[in-house]
Amino acid sequence: MVETQVWRVDPGAPDLEHTPQIIAAAEKLIQGEIVAFPTETVYGLGGNAKVRESVHKIYEAKGRPSDNPLIVHVATDEQVRAICTEIHPIARKLMDTFWPGPLTLVLPSRSEVSDSVTAGLSTVAVRMPSHPVARALILASNLPIAAPSANRSGHPSPTKAEHVFHDLDGRIAGILDGGETGVGLESTVVDCTTTPITILRPGGISKEQLIEAVGAVSDDPGLTRSDQIPKAPGMKYKHYAPEAAMYLVPSGMERINELISADKNNERTIGVLTTEENRDSYPGADAVLVCGKRSDPESIAHHLFDVLRRFDQKKVDVIYSETFPEYGIGKAIMNRLSKAAGGRMID
């Protein structure tokens, strides 16, 4: 057990790179420790990407399988060139269009980062976050920062510092508390070593946006199969899961209410994940939690992980979730819900 420090920082403060909180967190990274920090997607758990011991601490703190690669966070083009052997013109177009932002690119590795980051692959996943605290931390430490989501492996990803503290207090050196994150879902991961480029994980940048920017885009078979070697985070293992058994119910409200009635006869406590439009449609449920508006999918993405964690506080036995159209960010929402439910679906 280590003492986990919490540094509260205002993302809007001027000259963030030189604030005492950022400097303190950067010093921990330079010393080989690991710290959590906010990005525009979720909170990340960062360590020096070049040092195997630092990367091992990330895996250990999270309880994360070591064959699950990590994303390296950078703040400058120089840092990208230092860890990648080649930047294809399409990758450059994606960088120019979406960076800094919630897009991770898989590129040929120069072997400058630890093989624990790449899980032994010849490629490395790289992202340039737009959150001012994340960028300030990278610049202050002058390090490429390997950072998966700052949660215990399998738990819902953290969108608030309190989520990180709940999961990792005593396991990490510190937490930069920069408030609630924005997008709420992790970055989109795109393999730029294939033709056409391949989506390995849907996220904050939609497939439609990628097609508009560069044309042809494919989906990796690993999005739907678990027997593939994972090229990026979130492809192989169960993720984002609340404590209760969770089921997706595509047929909607009527079917969910039938399931609630059946479970009441079995004396199980029931949670329902729904939207603002349907918040009053499940009178028999013990906990009805709203994750946003169906008319505003971005609001669903923003609140999804927080709602999954709130179900744990409600101590329900089972959760039934509505489903959403798989267009735009809806594809990423359904990817996370499917992972959280372990693929369980009730027609």
How is the chain split into domains, by residue range?
5-223, 245-340
- pTM of structure: 0.94
Please report the pLDDT score of residue 251 as a whole number: 92
d(C-alpha 53, C-alpha 111), whole Å:
16
Quick one: 5-223 is in which CATH superfamily? Answer: DHBP synthase (3.90.870.10)
Please report the pLDDT score of residue 51 as a whole number: 97
Among 222, 218, 239, which residue's Cα sits nearest to residue 230? 222
Q: Which CATH class is domain 245-340?
A: alpha beta
d(C-alpha 273, C-alpha 322), whole Å:
6
Domains 5-223 and 245-340 share a fold: no
Cβ-contact 272, 320 below 8 angstroms: yes
Distances (CA, A) of 304 to 110, 167, 223, 275, 329: 36, 17, 20, 10, 12
Helix axes 297-314, 161-168, angle to 10 degrees: 40
pLDDT tens, N- to C-terminus, the chain (347 residues): 899 999 999 999 999 999 999 999 999 999 999 999 999 999 999 999 999 999 999 999 999 887 889 999 999 999 999 999 999 999 999 999 999 999 999 999 998 999 999 999 999 999 999 999 999 999 999 999 999 999 999 899 999 999 999 999 999 999 999 999 999 999 999 999 999 999 999 999 999 999 999 999 999 987 765 555 555 555 555 578 999 999 999 999 999 999 999 988 888 999 999 999 999 999 999 999 999 999 999 999 999 999 999 999 999 999 999 999 999 999 999 999 999 999 999 98
Largest CA distance in the chain: 62
H, E, C per residue of the chain:
CCCCEEEECCCCCCCHHHCHHHHHHHHHHHCCCCEEEECCCCEEEEEECCCHHHHHHHHHHHCCCCCCCCEEECCCHHHHHHHECCCCHHHHHHHHHHCCCCEEEEEEECCCCCHHHHCCCCEEEEECCCCHHHHHHHHHHCCCEECCECCCCCCCCCCCHHHHHHHHCCCCCEEEECCCCCCCCCCEEEECCCCCEEEEECCCCCHHHHHHHHCCEEECHHHCCCCCCCCCCCCCCCCCCCCCEEEECCCCHHHHHHHHHHHHHCCCCEEEEECHHHCCCCCCCCEEEECCECCEHHHHHHHHHHHHHHHHHHCCCEEEECCCCCCCCHHHHHHHHHHHCCCCECC
Please report the pLDDT score of residue 66 as a whole number: 77
